[in-house]
Amino acid sequence: MSEEQRHPRALTIAGSDSSAGAGIQADLKTFAALEVYGLSAITAITAQNTLGVRAAFELPPELVEAQIDAVLEDIGADAAKTGMLATAPIIEAVARSVARWQLRLVVDPVMAAKSGDPLLRPEAVAALRGVLLPLAEVVTPNLPEAEMLTGRHIETLEEMREAARAIHDLGARHVVVKGGHRLDAPIDVYFDGTGFSELRAERIETRHTHGTGCTFSAAIAAFLARGLAVAEAVAEAKRYVTEAIRHAPGLGHGHGPTEHFWQWKQSKEAQTR
């Protein structure tokens, strides 16, 4: 097998974030940092910065499907992830592509930006739940997204476990209910259909969490593309996102981006010492 054939590759199907902290841009940076070749299919273009989303333009579903077909017919993907999908017709087009290409899929059910601005039309939640979740190998809702998907209020770890089970019942094979929105430790609950475990990390006191969910789900897809089992991929992705938050460069006046290349920067510093 040639080098080219062995190089792992992953596809992100998501929205563009002009501030490059979230969306397609965060996903491609994550793939690159984890040495996975990144492919992209853009669903929507947003004009946003660390303070909020000023405008969004949704692309036609046929164009989303055409981007996926173009890269998969030629290059192929070992894993894929979805982020901002914006509308029900885009979700349906993505679901068709995922089924046709039999993609190993990580679904980040993005509904809003950190600023609170909506990124998914309210009527599209039903399509996300009914059409896309049954195709997901892993789904990674944050607390408000898990509440929208289950119709339950979620606060405690026990409520996070109950939500993970309810989302698994919708068809997703592995569920991570993320606890970044909790006030105490950012503990995530992982459910594989049989047992629960917790992904624990220290809370980093920072406002720079723009794109943490995108980064986490992209890292899971990257580790799956590299051949890790789901539980390992999720654990490694948790470590990756924690360090990405820790090394955030402190940009912008609102929720700034995280840092993806801290390891590369550290090795460069070590060489010049």
Ligand X SMILES: Nc1ncnc2c1ncn2[C@@H]1O[C@H](COP(=O)(O)OP(=O)(O)O)[C@@H](O)[C@H]1O
Give the interface with ligand X as residue ranges (CB under 6 A).
142, 178-181, 186, 188, 201, 203-204, 206, 209, 212-213, 216, 238, 241-242, 245
Q: Which of 82, 87, 140, 212 is catalytic?
A: 212
In the residue annotation, 242 being an active-site residue is answered as no
How many whole angstroms separate alpha carbon 42 and alpha carbon 23?
9
Nearer to ligand MP5, 129 or 178 (CB): 178
Instruction: Tell me which residues in 16-55 interact with ligand MP5 (CB under 6 A).
Output: 17, 22-23, 46
How many whole angstroms separate alpha carbon 212 and alpha carbon 49?
15
119 contact choice in ligand MP5, ligand X, none (CB below 5 to 8 Å, kind-dependent): ligand MP5
Q: What single DSSP character describes residue 79?
A: E
Q: In terms of Cα–Cα distance, which of 4, 14, 26 is closest to 260?
A: 26
Q: In terms of Cα–Cα distance, which of 265, 268, 271, 269 is closest to 248?
A: 265
CB of 50 to ligand X, least distance (A): 13
In the residue annotation, 214 being an active-site residue is answered as yes
120 contact choice in ligand X, ligand MP5, none (CB below 5 to 8 Å, kind-dependent): none
Among 71-79, 107-115, 149-157, 242-250, the segment contacting ligand MP5 (CB under 6 A): 107-115
Nearer to ligand X, 66 or 115 (CB): 115
Q: What single DSSP character describes residue 58?
A: E
φ, ψ for residue 110, nearest 5 deg: -60, 125
In sequence order, which residues have a C-beta less than 8 Å from that of residue 254 and are 6 or more positions away?
Answer: 49, 50, 51, 52, 114, 115, 207, 210
Nearer to ligand X, 67 or 212 (CB): 212
Helix, strand, or coil here: 174?
strand
212 belongs to the binding site for ligand MP5 (CB under 6 A): yes
Instruction: Tell me which residues in 152-211 interact with ligand MP5 (CB under 6 A).
Output: 210-211
Cβ contact 174:107 at 8 Å: no
Active-site amino acid positions: 178, 209, 211-214
